[in-house]
Amino acid sequence: MAQKTTELYRGKAKTVYHTTDADKLILHFRNDTSAFDGERIEQLARKGMVNNKFNFFIMQKLEQAGIPTQVEALLSDDEVLVKKLDMIPVECVVRNFAAGSLVKRLGVEEGLALTPPTFELFLKNDALHDPMINDSHVVSFGWATAEQLAEMKRLTLRVNDVLSKLFDQAGLMLVDFKLEFGLFHGQIVLGDEFSPDGCRLWDKATRKKLDKDRFRQGLGGVVEAYEEVAQRLGVPID
């Protein structure tokens, strides 16, 4: 098994390490929780562990559905071994119900059902506050080819199908989510993470928010909500 060596990159919630295998990295999920492009950061006990196990569980489900992911092996409570991807700096967002920036941008009511779901692209750039971009920007600026972008969109919509059903069976609405992709030896592969830090999940019956909006909106009970989601899905967490 690949061994952790030097730090490659420290993100807002995860630290990425090189390993003894040039094709593999280790992601360390920290307890740091950030909002508003990193302007607000807090430590939330257990969050690194919960998100690491949550992400591993979801990525396994996606692999089983035929979606290529970077995940290789769960290493510890807060570390996972992954393929080293050449990351594409574009965020793919799907929305099944209106919330967050869509509500602000278009003035629609939170919770409005979106049929078919929307697909949006944002540039991953905190200094510019992750501006919304379109297909032509991605290709013209060389962030991905038209073919790679088409594959990212196809995979993102497939992830939505798989996970909407999974969460629905657990009594949850998958309101929206963000994915990031990278290239592994020329193939588009799902990278980064899938956790309640990067999606919106509401209880189906009460519409109670069980995701990072609890942190953004100061609602409290953030990690407790993540743990409730994990427990409902059957994610093994001590």
Nearer to ligand C5P, 130 or 203 (CB): 130
Locate tokens 């430590």: which residue?
Answer: 43
Shortest approach of ligand C5P to residue 177 CB, angstroms? 5
Question: Is the CB of residue 61 less than 8 Å from the CB of residue 166?
Answer: yes
Nearer to ligand C5P, 19 or 51 (CB): 51
Question: Is the CB of residue 124 less than 8 Å from the CB of residue 91?
Answer: yes
Question: Is the CB of residue 98 less than 8 Å from the CB of residue 111?
Answer: yes
Per-residue burial over 168-177, b = 16 or more CB atoms within 10 Å of its CB, e = otherwise: eebebbbbbb
Shortest approach of ligand C5P to residue 176 CB, angstroms? 4
Nearer to ligand C5P, 36 or 141 (CB): 36
The CA-CA-CA angle for residues 164, 100, 160, to 5°, reads 20
Nearer to ligand C5P, 71 or 99 (CB): 99
Radius of gyration of the chain (CA): 17
Shortest approach of ligand C5P to residue 4 CB, angstroms? 26
- Residues near ligand C5P (CB under 6 A): 91, 93, 99-102, 130, 176-178, 198-200, 212
Q: Which residue is nearest to ligand C5P (CB)?
A: 100
Shortest approach of ligand C5P to residue 1 CB, angstroms? 30
